[in-house]
Amino acid sequence: MISAILAFYTALLVILFFYSMHSFILIYYYYKLRNRRHRKPKKLSEYPRVTVQLPIYNEKYVVHRLIKSVTELDYPQSKLEIQVLDDSSDDTSDIAARLIDEYRKRRFDICHIRRGSRDGYKAGALQYGLASAKGEYIAIFDADFVPSPDFLKELLPEFTSPKVAGVQSRWGHLNHDDSLLTRAQAIGLDNHFAMEQRLRYRAGFFINFNGTCGIWRKDAITDAGGWHTDTLAEDLDLSYRVQLRGWKIKFRDDFAVLGELPATAESFKIQQNRWAKGTIQVARKLLPRVLRARLAKVAKYEAFVHLTCHINFLAMLGLALFSPIIVYFKVEHIVADGYFIFASFFTIGALGYPYLYFLSQRELYPDYRRRIPFIMGVIAYSMGLSVSNSNAVIEGWLNRKNVFRRTPKSGGESRGYRVESKSVLPFVEILLGVYIFVALIYVIVNLQLILIPFLLFYSFGFLNLGLMSLKDKIYTLEPREVLCSRESS
């Protein structure tokens, strides 16, 4: 039994080490490519027709802000079409209709598109709108983002080459200073954009459209087969299909669009679960094609890590379950010290991503030093997500029924409504947090000081997310979360 536990624990360490070593590869590319700056193309000499798509679902608190920001884009009104793709089941539709009537009176080409069903969710809405879109280019904004007036004039010149399928901008944050949770989210997203997206793009690897704050060439979407509805990550799915067809996606790390971060633990987990499940669905769907494609081996490696990285959460959950047992083996001298010397080698991998987080903050903010302490929050919340995200990864890989849950948004206001939820995951997180906390006390008593940070991060992550989730289920943004399901094809 002991041998089996050690073998399983070692396998978990190997998995985490494999993915964590990717951080050192990114660090290598950071120093190799850091002097390679993006060269802005010349300003627009003519203005192509653009369709702006705004997919919304029950966004009554932010729909006004969204539509207002899009109508303020600095672009010839005669060349701009706005599609409000409204699948709402609450009074968002009435609010949107009134706003659209107002802007029509001001001669905006803005239409309110209601499909009558939510078939295909966001991907279904985008594809439905695409069929009637007048624009040569399609800009997309989710409800939680506020584009600046110069968005189109900044990004459209990137389409100088006919092989450019799309351009993605970086995300900024409207509410990053609200709490430890939002500060940690901001750092995690900054790392994704300022490090992962930028370095993959500069190195010539596949990158992805992030679902919002970008522009597509309409012909590229059509050439790749349009928006597919068989995953919860329709943006990642289309990005890879487009690039497998030979198109290129550009990334503008120097231009950011501000967005609202999930303000509660429950909304944060809903968002992260959707991303985890959708990403593994895309891996299941497209990874074989990527590995068979005529690409450099390092590009295939990058794509493999990109599409399967959420497997990390399964390994982190396993580590949380077995680490107290391994600690007991060490303290009671049940296992020879040689195993622990061997296992300590894998801790090297734990240094890479914190350093990337540091680099991202240094790249983006003059006051980066005050943000550095919150890197610990990123680590702790990543560990705490391992319960809910592991469940999402398993469902995604098994191609289980898609259940779409929107990320609640408040528009910066706090409201208290009751919701009903039968999920037991917060209780599991709390139990795991207590379990790890007991192990933490055990290592402190036995002076195993090197293990204290590891167990402390785990305990805090589980307990914080679990307790906040229970609170969120009583006081949240919406009176009831509407769930819609569709069998994956």
Burial of residue 232 (number of CB atoms within 10 Å: 0-12, 13-18, 19+):
buried
CA distance 431 to 3: 27
CA distance 264 to 175: 12
Is residue 279 in a domain? Answer: no
Same domain, 84 and 127: yes
Is residue 464 in a domain? Answer: yes
pLDDT of amino acid 485: 38
pLDDT of amino acid 96: 96
Q: What percent of the chain has pLDDT over 90?
A: 81
pLDDT of amino acid 404: 61
User: Model confidence over 362-376: pLDDT tens digits?
Assistant: 999 999 999 999 999
Local structure of 113: helix, strand or coil: strand
User: Model confidence over 275-315: pLDDT tens digits?
Assistant: 999 999 999 999 999 999 999 999 999 999 999 999 999 99
Tokens of 206: 């596949």
Distances (CA, A) of 233 to 240, 274, 280: 11, 8, 9
Contact 55, 140 (CB under 8 A): yes
pLDDT of amino acid 161: 94
CA distance 268 to 271: 5
Contact 483, 405 (CB under 8 A): yes
Kindly report the number of other CB atoms within 10 A of residue 180's CB atom: 15
Active-site position among 86, 190, 235, 237:
235
User: Model confidence over 105-150: pLDDT tens digits?
Assistant: 999 999 999 998 899 999 999 999 999 999 999 999 999 999 999 9
Give the chain's radius of gyration (CA, Å).
Answer: 23
Per the prediction, the chain carries an average pLDDT of 91
Nearest to 83 by CA among 30, 133, 12, 10: 133
Same domain, 352 and 473: yes
Same domain, 263 and 396: no
Q: Is the pLDDT of residue 479 over 70?
A: no
Is residue 159 in a domain? Answer: yes
Is residue 226 in a domain? Answer: yes
Nearest to 244 by CA among 225, 228, 230: 225
Same domain, 341 and 413: yes
Same domain, 65 and 104: yes
Nearest to 436 by CA among 409, 414, 468, 464: 464
| Overall residue count recorded for the chain in this entry | 489
Last residue of a domain, one of 267, 283, 298: 267
Tokens of 223: 């050439």
Contact 88, 58 (CB under 8 A): yes
pLDDT of amino acid 388: 94
Amino acid at 315: A
Span 304-331, average pLDDT: 95
Amino acid at 106: R
CA distance 86 to 484: 15
Same domain, 82 and 216: yes
CA distance 149 to 276: 32
Tokens of 334: 């049940």
Same domain, 315 and 438: yes
Question: Domain range spanning residue 166?
Answer: 49-182+207-267
CA distance 187 to 263: 15
Whether 90 sits among the annotated catalytic residues: the reply is no
Interior/surface letters 243-257, b for 16+ CB within 10 angstroms, e for the rest: bbeebbbbbbbebbb
Same domain, 69 and 19: no
Is residue 37 in a domain? Answer: no
Packing angle, helices 337-344 and 311-331, rounded to 10:
150
Is residue 405 in a domain? Answer: yes
Interior/surface letters 427-466, b for 16+ CB within 10 angstroms, e for the rest: eebbebbebbbebbebbeeeebeebeebbbbbbbbbbbbb
Active-site position among 86, 87, 237, 253:
87
Same domain, 112 and 164: yes
Span 216-243, average pLDDT: 97
Span 339-360, average pLDDT: 92
The total domain count for the chain is: 2
Contact 265, 396 (CB under 8 A): no
Same domain, 403 and 462: yes
User: Model confidence over 396-449: pLDDT tens digits?
Assistant: 998 766 666 666 666 655 444 444 456 789 999 999 999 999 999 999 999 888
DSSP 343-383: HHGGGGGGGHHHHHHHHHHHHH-TTHHHHGGGHHHHHHHHH
Is residue 39 in a domain? Answer: no
Same domain, 318 and 421: yes
CATH assignment at residue 245: 3.90.550.10
Q: How confident is the model at residue 379 (pLDDT cuts 50, 70, 90)?
A: very high
Whether 337 sits among the annotated catalytic residues: the reply is no
Phi, psi (deg, nearest 5) at residue 75: -155, 145
Contact 86, 122 (CB under 8 A): no
Is residue 411 in a domain? Answer: yes
Distances (CA, A) of 447 to 237, 324, 372, 450, 469: 49, 14, 28, 9, 33
Same domain, 326 and 430: yes
CA distance 62 to 227: 25
Strand order in the sheet with 137-140: 109-113, 80-86, 50-56, 137-140, 214-217, 164-173, 248-259, 145-146
pLDDT of amino acid 451: 86
